[in-house]
Amino acid sequence: MMATATRAASKALSHLRVLDLGIITAGAAASQIMGDLGADVIKIESPSRPDPFRRWTQVASPASGQTDLNASPPFQTVNRNKRGMALDLKHPDGRRVFLDLVVKSDIVVENFRCGVLDRLSVGFADLKRVKPDIILASLTSQGSAGPEAGYSSYGSTLDALGGLMSLNGYGPETPRWSGTNVNYPDQVVSLIAPGAILAAVRHRDQTGEPVHVDLSQREVVTFLLGEYVVDAAAARRGPQGNRNADFAPQGVYACAGKEQWIALSIGDDAQWVRLCDIVARDPAISAERFATAQERHANADAIDALLGDALREWDRDRLAARLVEAGIAASPVFASPEVLKDPQLAALGFFQSVEHMSFAGRRQRGFNARLSKTPATIHSLAPRLGEKSREILTDMLGYSDEKIAELLTSGAVFADRD
């Protein structure tokens, strides 16, 4: 394992060095989690085609109108705690530099299409030749086998291919995806990947063998909802919106005030009685009228209409508190500003304030887990393109000034201004 001088020894993963070829969310966020826990993560980008996330929100300089490649809030979040290295893997010298980095590293993370690394001559076989115990984590779209292995895709299309969209929506005629702002498959695989990578590290440490971790984003989507896909296929059911035959009423209802909503679900007959006691001003809403789950499900439209009228009179937060106190599953539907101010998330320290950021994104999501002895931290901003190229070539690889100058002149390596 690699000792990392740039990370405090107290961090859980300070013994690991990660070469991050990841782009957008999937690969980059997986290595970001490892960086939060102390791993020395080196973000590798192409000088001519940097991570597209740098341009995701088109943050532009007011003076020039040009996009600031270092100012994108989503890029800042998933690339914090990394050192930046820019090199051209299509250039023979750039490829040699990368393989020299592999020799001094533990893990390579990538989320390109299957086969891209092999075509660049830096695939698993190439990595093993220079580092016999290397770990390669491939977070591909479709996986490494099958007729569609070489396909590229987006999070939204993986919603469709993985089966999520078939269950998400308000009926079979209106399936819905999680949207480009969420990209559910990317988010989920980035949370699962670090655990799989650390399992590979354990195997490597015990055997000295290299490991290729193959994580298909499409598979992850289906894995997480597999039993529901099987159930829906057996019952020939498609998207049902907020309704569930076993929990009626179940839905989202408007309350008093502009854009104020509450979500609630009834689990049994006793909860229905308590709901009626709290909200029933109209005698049409009565525990006796819809006494059983079967009656409520059969009359779901009528109940929704009655509740829709009754709940519009209520203050959302007061109603949610009353329902929760009565043992009913209920919650206010928070808008983004309310999530940011949520006291529970504040108590957990979920949102982290990142100092010295003069643009949008200074508040970032925190950590996916809290370790009592070796807590995660944000110790550096996302790197500028090629910010640490010279430092890495000098300190990590021991290249001479003359060799570095040749690499910069040839275009094999790019270095940000000192």
Active site residues: 186
Tokens of 401: 């000034």
Scan for tokens 């809030």, then name that residue.
Answer: 73
Evaluate the omega torsion of the peptide bond into residue 249 and state whether it is cis, within 30 degrees of 0.
yes
SS3 296: helix
Contact 82, 383 (CB under 8 A): yes
Q: How far is residue 132's CA from residue 366's CA, in Å, rounded to a whole number?
A: 35
CB atoms within 10 A of CB 28: 28
SS3 265: strand
Q: What torsion do the CA atoms of 331, 332, 336, 342 make, to the nearest 10 degrees?
A: -70
The DSSP bridge partners found for residue 263 are 252, 331
Tokens of 230: 């099987």
The Cα angle at residue 172 between residues 166 and 177, in degrees rounded to 5: 40
Q: Are strands 17-20 and 351-353 parallel, antiparallel or unpaired?
A: unpaired
Tokens of 121: 């001559």
Q: How far is residue 295's CA from residue 293's CA, in Å, rounded to a whole number?
A: 5
| Distance, CA of 213 to chain centre | 18
Q: How far is residue 331's CA from residue 334's CA, in Å, rounded to a whole number?
A: 9
Torsion sign (Cα): 132, 133, 137, 142: positive
Nearest CA among 408, 257, 396, 390 for reference residue 333: 257
Contact 291, 299 (CB under 8 A): no
Task: Tell me the one-letter amino acid at 357.
Answer: M
Task: Tell me the one-letter amino acid at 179.
Answer: G
Tokens of 208: 């000295």
SS3 82: strand
Contact 308, 254 (CB under 8 A): yes
